[in-house]
Structure 1
Amino acid sequence: MGNMGLKKIINSTHIKWKVAVFQFRKKLYGFDNANVYLQSVDSRAIIPILKKNGAKIGEGCKFKTPLFIDNPKGSYKNLQLGKGISIGANTYIDLMDEVIIGDYTGVGPGVSFLTHWHVGDVPLKKLFPFKTDKIVIDENCFIGLDCTILYGTRLKEFTLIGARSLVSGTFPSGSLAEGNPAKVTSQLRERALAKLKN
């Protein structure tokens, strides 16, 4: 057995160990405890843990760590990722509702996906009641560094969001949007979109 064979065995054993530790913590201390452990797991074990606990993740996805998941409600079933997706370090995903990301989408570091609004058990809740809605990012989009994607957002295919934008609402196919709040600053032409789709 050469070095490559030994590396494969070590890598496989490492991943199996991390998955087993997650499952053990889930069984012994509950899902919330195991979910906190996920923050310390390296990128090799993230996808197997998420899949084993209900997430749907396509082939060729990559995560940089740490990854923060909040409100998983006992599983990661509200997370659906297509194939070839890249998720940057320090991404925060709120799974109070669904987060659906299409094929070949890139998510920069520090992006937050917030699927709900809740001010807490305070008098303000009379004016600002609890709200939740899914986030849908179509295929071939890119979300820049430190963006916040709010509940109910829909990015249609080939949309690019500039760094540090606050994103809410629906953005048409081929949009280039940025700002706080994010607004469409330019649009890909039909000919350019047609080239991208082929």
Structure 2
Amino acid sequence: MISISKSAQVSRLADIEDSKFGTSILIEDRVYIDSFVRIRPVGGRGDVRIGKDSFINAGTVIFSGNGVDIGQWVLIAPNCTLAPTNHAYASRERTIRHQGFLPSKGGIVIEDDCWIGANCTVLDGSLLRKGCVIGAGSLVRGEVEAYSVNSGNPLRKTGMRGD
């Protein structure tokens, strides 16, 4: 089920797929979704919520997987990937495609007032605390401290907002 607030702005060129498995996609008030953003309900049965006044820039792909919860006033720059799922791959006797998915690490939670720079990847089990900044090209796994500034692969804290 897809629910888009009347005050949200979704580009005609965005691709928001409806789920065949009951995943819900909720886009709240005054959210802006740019062209070529893709939201795909695959890789699990988690829901996607994009909180009020958030901005998802062009080329970003959000997989539902084990769930994505984006808070209010979140900025996601172009060409990011939010992938809250992991393929199983242990068996050599079956193709990876036929092994399904690993258990959830908790999905992705992005609290209010975060900024994710261009070309970042955010993985299952990531928790971005309120007000954190993720520099362009970074890989996010695990918890990120509130109001911290971070970048790289592996992700490293480089400062704090307001310092």
TM-score (norm 1): 0.63
The runs of 4+ residues in structure 1 deviating greater than 6 Å are: 47-50
Structure 1 segment 118-197 matched on structure 2, within 5 A: 118-120=87-89, 122-123=91-92, 130-132=102-104, 133-188=106-161
Report sequence identity in percent: 27
- Matches of 1:168 and 1:121 in 2, distance apart? 21
What CA deviation, in whole Å up to 9, does each residue of 1:14-44 have, x standing for no partner? xxxxxxxxxxxxxxxxxxxxxxxxxxxx704
1:94–1:114 contact (8 Å) kept in structure 2: yes
Instruction: Judging by fraction of residues, say which structure has more helix.
Output: 1
Match of 2:52 among 77, 83, 87: 83
Query: Larger relative contact order (C-alpha < 8 A, sep ≥ 6)?
Result: 2
More strand by share: 2
Counterparts of 1:149 and 1:173, CA distance in 2: 16
Q: 5+ unaligned residues in a row in structure 2: which ranges? A: 1-9
Aligned to 1:25: none
Amino acid at match of 1:130: L
- 1:144 to partner: Cα distance: 0.3
CA distance in 1, matches of 2:44, 2:126: 24
Q: How big is the shift at 1:56?
A: 1.7
Q: Is the 8 A contact 1:141 1:155 kept in 2?
A: yes
* Distance of 2:147 and 2:43 partners within structure 1: 34
What's the counterpart of residue 61 of structure 1? 31
Structure 2: how far apart are the matches of 1:115 and 1:146?
16
Gaps of at least 5 residues in structure 1 are 1-41, 193-198
Structure of higher CA gyration radius: 1
- RMSD, aligned CA: 3.1
Alpha-carbon separation, structure 2, partners of 1:114 and 1:49: 16
Q: How many residues align?
A: 144
- 1:26 is matched with which residue? none
**TM-score if structure 2 supplies the norm length?**
0.75
Residues in 1 aligned to 2:37 and 2:15: alpha-carbon distance in whole angstroms: 11
The more displaced of 163-172 and 129-138 is: 129-138
